[in-house]
Amino acid sequence: MVSAVLRRFASLTAFSTCTIAVMTACSDSAAPPMASPSTIQASAAALPVVNAVVRVLPGLDGAHPRGIDEFDEVVGSTAANVPFYWSPSNGLVLLQHPGFTTGQARTINDHGAMSGTLGGNTAVVWMPLHTGEFRVFPSPASQSCSASVLTWGGELVGTCVATNGTAYGTIFNWHGAPTQTSGYQYNDLSGDGYLVGAQDDNGVLTAPIVVLPSGQVVVLHGVDGAIHKWAAVNAVAEGGYLAGYSTEAGCTQGVVWGLFTSGHATWPERYLDVCGEANGITSDGYVVGTSFSGWAFLWYEEPGPGLQRLPGLGQAGETSTAVAISLHHALGTITSNGVTHTVIWNLPDRT
């Protein structure tokens, strides 16, 4: 589950819906601010540290983890850019990738099926290990495609980019050509049908978006009610809770939309008070991500305490990332004494 990434309050008029046909009319923000984020960036030393158990996964030093499911099965790529699967019972398993020299597994669902990208341009699915089936989804002509998520129900979504730079939000079809929408990137899909990502104008992100299960496209607004460039939804949880980043109020910062508010359906945005991005979210409001200062964080409200730093291994000068979350287990890395370890944080229950 990716998860896979709560919002500041906004009125009903601060949210808009746009159809794909009028997409460009909904993008009205300025370029990213160049000033340093002096007022928003939280100091890691001043933050509370999560009471979490850190587990270093053997055999994955130097790897690039990307996805985790409810059974602590992990996928990603090795230091040599070979796609991998890891589980507590099987350890490290290198995934087959015939015809491609490099690849990355990105997500794993709770059936154990995995999705990823090979050669930087081809979306693929690996079925659970006991079946061993390997499925290539051919890219449309003159497009390079990547997979973002494979849901529990087998829906595969991602983004394809044409040679002229046009991005296509892509829903891959197991038995035919994919369904594509020009000018979008798709980053995540929830099991109940919320599709998230951003509007993409030849590599320039012009607005974060959520596509409702009904097919309606909602363009998301900032805390100030404006639509901001250089913003995207990275992760969605069931119920339509969204997490990602937005460039506003001094820096590109981690944000959430719609959680713990009476107006959830209008997706008011909330700052997480950290320059960085949120990469995973659960339906009960756990959010994980990485600050641009190099430390992994957990955020939750109600009852709080809000932004917290995920623990390291106890050595000076460590850096960390949080890339995904399952129910209450976060996946990421800790770099300590020059070695990057793949880790799982067992997160505490809220009280």
| pLDDT at residue 11, rounded to an integer | 23
pLDDT band (50, 70, 90) for residue 42: low
The least confident of 130-139, 143-152, 158-167 is 130-139
Strand ranges, E, within 292-328: 296-300, 306-309, 319-325
**Going from the N-terminus, what domains does the chain have, and what CATH number goes with each?**
12-27+39-346 (2.120.10.30)
| pLDDT at residue 35, rounded to an integer | 37
* Residue 44: Cβ-neighbour burial (10 angstroms; 0-12, 13-18, 19+): middle
Say whether pLDDT at 104 is over 70.
yes
The 10s digit of each residue's pLDDT in 203-221 is: 999 999 999 999 999 999 9
The 10s digit of each residue's pLDDT in 71-98 is: 999 999 999 999 999 999 999 999 999 9
Say whether pLDDT at 4 is over 60.
no
The 10s digit of each residue's pLDDT in 290-345 is: 999 999 999 987 767 799 999 999 999 999 999 999 988 999 999 999 999 999 99
pLDDT band (50, 70, 90) for residue 31: very low
Q: Do 169 and 197 touch, CB atoms closer than 8 A?
A: yes
Integer Rg of the chain from CA: 19
Q: Do 233 and 246 touch, CB atoms closer than 8 A?
A: no
